[in-house]
Structure formats: C-alpha cells, structure tokens
C-alpha cells in the first residue's frame, strides 16, 4: 500500500459498499504511514467510514489477509512452482511463467472459505473476545521483578594475617598456620553430594534471567497506538503540523 494508492482504494470501497453518514461501515487498517493523512481521514468522515487501526505489532495475528489468505497463497504458490519444475526438467521459471503459476495459487487460496475463516480466527467477525488467551500475550510481558541481592546471606569473613616479627638473631622461624588453608581443609572435608537427591526444581537450581535494574523508557520518534483515526482528526492534524515544522527547522539549519 502506498500513499497514492490508498485514496483510490477508499473511493473503490465507497462505490461498492454504498456507505454514507447514515449507513456507516468499519474499515480496519494497520499503522502504516500511507493511511495517516488529514485529507484521507476527512474523506472517510464525510463518506461514513470509521477508520480503526490495529494495535502495533499485532497484524500477523489480527489482520485477516495475514491470518488466513497469504499463508495458504504462499504454500500453494510453492507447490505450483515445484510441480512446474518437475514437469519441465532442466528449465528455469521466468517472469513469463509467474502469471500462470500465480493464477493457480490464487484460485486455491483466495476462496470464500479462507476469507470468512480469516475474519473468524482473530475474533473480528463474529465478535469473539476470547479468541486469544493468556498464553498469546506471554511474549509481550516483561520478566519478573529483579531479585534482591541479599548480601547479608553471603557472609564473607576477611582473612586477617599479621606479619610475624622475625628476630634476625634467631635462626628458627615460627610458622603460623594460614587461615585460608584451614578453610580449604574444612571445605575438602565436606562429603560428596553426587548421589544426593534434591527436591529443588530446575528454576531454583538455575533461575531464569532477571532484569538487572529498571530500564529507562526510551521515547520513540513516532509512537503508534491503536486509535480511531476518524475521531482523532484534530490530533492527527497537530501531529502532521509538528512534523512539518520540524522538517522546516532542519532545512533552515542546513542552510
């Protein structure tokens, strides 16, 4: 989708749906910049189109074409290519064969069954708020709060060694036992636990990585959210004016 093509698509939708301000329709779009324009949003408001965008990074699970049409189309196109290669050994697929092979995949994937199921799977129509469960949102969750490092539990006894005073006239040297060696001897005296059965879970033995600290929230240049564009025309207009002024300021600085 391009900025020049989207107005033509809107006019095509209006001509076939016969929508108006009394008979409104809902048009679901992604957050592509080609859909965000004051002129296009104004056209949708006058034509009775409610323009609603998907949340960011969810089109692969919510956009009907991605859910139930493009996937089967790619698989059918791959099968058509393989069948052609088997039927024509030693030859390569050229651009002249793409149209014929794509027609086979198109008729196989763009069926009424696939199109209707692509709206049903993400819960768009019929409306199903239970289409996604808690497991689908696990990748978007942040890891648990970082564990507190309890330094009190790690008791570190400093080794204090006093330098013995050596008498130059005395040939005998008194050997003072080293505290470190004593500690090592104690550690070596611990019996082996190779055959010890522990009831600890794998997470206790090797815990999952935690966030070392609170990360600073980096404000993105253009933060996109799910919104009804036809109800936020003033916001979009301010946003576009802000971008325009920033571009003009940059151009003046370069001059």
> What are 229-254's pLDDT values in tens digits?
777 777 777 777 888 888 888 888 87
Mean pLDDT confidence for 25-39: 85
Residue 184 confidence (pLDDT) above 60 = no
Mean pLDDT confidence for 164-187: 54
* DSSP conformation letters of the chain: --TTHHHHHHHHHHHHH---SSS-EEEEE-S-GGG--HHHHHHHHHHTEEEEEPPTT-HHHH-HHHHHTHHHHHHHHHHHHHHHHHHSTT----HHHHHHHHHHHHHHHS-HHHHHHHHHTTTTTTT-TTSS-GGGGGGGSPPPPPPP--TTTS-------PPPPPPTT----PPPPPHHHHHHHHHHTSPP-TT------HHHHSPPP--SSPPP-PPPSS-----BGGG-HHHHHHHHHHHHHHHHHHHHHH-
47 within a domain of the structure (yes/no): yes
Q: Give the integer Cα–Cα distance in Å for 42 and 60.
A: 28
Are 115 and 88 in the same domain? yes
Are 66 and 38 in the same domain? no
214 within a domain of the structure (yes/no): no
179 within a domain of the structure (yes/no): no
Are 68 and 107 in the same domain? yes
Query: Quick one: pLDDT at residue 239?
Result: 77
SS (H, E, C) 18-30: CCCCCCCEEEEEC
Are 70 and 29 in the same domain? no
Number of domains in the chain: 2
Q: Which of 99, 128, 143 is the last residue of a domain?
A: 143
Structure confidence at residue 183 as a pLDDT band (50, 70, 90)? low
Tens of pLDDT, residue by residue over 33-71, are 777 788 888 899 999 999 999 988 888 899 999 999 999
159 within a domain of the structure (yes/no): no
Query: Quick one: pLDDT at residue 26?
Result: 94
The three-point CA angle 223-8-40 to 5° equals 40
Question: What percentage of the chain has pLDDT greater than the value 70?
Answer: 71
More confident residue, 226 or 147: 226
Lowest mean pLDDT segment, chosen from 36-50, 86-100, 117-131, 231-245: 231-245
Query: Quick one: pLDDT at residue 73?
Result: 96
Are 96 and 112 in the same domain? yes
> Which residues are bridge partners to 53 per DSSP?
29
Mean pLDDT confidence for 11-29: 94
Are 35 and 51 in the same domain? yes
163 within a domain of the structure (yes/no): no
Mean pLDDT confidence for 74-89: 95
Q: Give the integer Cα–Cα distance in Å for 20 and 232.
A: 19
Mean pLDDT confidence for 107-132: 94
Structure confidence at residue 206 as a pLDDT band (50, 70, 90)? confident
243 within a domain of the structure (yes/no): yes
Lowest mean pLDDT segment, chosen from 51-55, 67-71, 93-97, 154-158: 154-158
Arithmetic mean of pLDDT over the chain:
79
Lowest mean pLDDT segment, chosen from 27-36, 96-105, 169-178: 169-178
Query: Quick one: pLDDT at residue 225?
Result: 75
Question: Can you give the residue range of the structural domain that contains 230?
Answer: 1-56+225-249
Are 137 and 63 in the same domain? yes
Quote the radius of gyration of the chain (alpha carbons, Å).
Answer: 34
More confident residue, 187 or 7: 7
Are 63 and 127 in the same domain? yes
217 within a domain of the structure (yes/no): no
Q: Which of 110, 143, 176 is the last residue of a domain?
A: 143
Residue 151 confidence (pLDDT) above 50 = no
Closest CA to 26 of 119, 114, 132: 119
Q: Which of 125, 143, 161 is the last residue of a domain?
A: 143
192 within a domain of the structure (yes/no): no
């Amino acid at each position: 989708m391009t900025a020049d093509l989207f107005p033509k698509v809107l006019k095509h939708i209006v001509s076939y749906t016969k929508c108006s301000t009394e008979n409104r329709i809902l048009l679901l779009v992604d957050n592509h910049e080609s859909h965000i324009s004051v002129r296009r949003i104004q056209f949708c408001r006058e034509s009775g189109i409610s323009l609603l965008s998907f949340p960011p990074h969810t089109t692969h699970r919510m956009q009907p074409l991605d859910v139930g049409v493009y996937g089967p189309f790619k698989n059918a196109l791959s099968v058509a290519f393989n069948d052609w290669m088997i039927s024509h050994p030693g030859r390569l697929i050229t651009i002249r064969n793409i149209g014929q092979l794509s027609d086979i995949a198109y008729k196989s994937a763009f069926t009424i069954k696939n199109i209707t199921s692509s709206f049903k799977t993400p819960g768009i129509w019929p409306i199903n708020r239970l289409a996604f469960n808690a497991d689908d949102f696990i990748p978007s969750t942040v890891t648990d709060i970082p564990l507190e490092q309890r330094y009190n539990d790690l008791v570190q006894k400093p080794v204090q060694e006093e330098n013995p005073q050596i008498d130059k006239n005395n040939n005998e040297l008194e050997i003072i036992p080293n505290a470190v060696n004593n500690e090592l001897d104690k550690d070596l005296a611990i019996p082996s636990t190779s055959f010890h059965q522990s009831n600890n879970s794998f997470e206790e033995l090797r815990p999952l990585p935690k966030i070392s600290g609170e990360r600073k929230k980096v404000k993105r240049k253009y933060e996109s959210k799910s919104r009804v564009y036809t109800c936020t025309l003033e916001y979009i207009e301010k946003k576009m004016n802000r971008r325009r002024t920033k571009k003009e300021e940059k151009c003046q600085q370069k001059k």
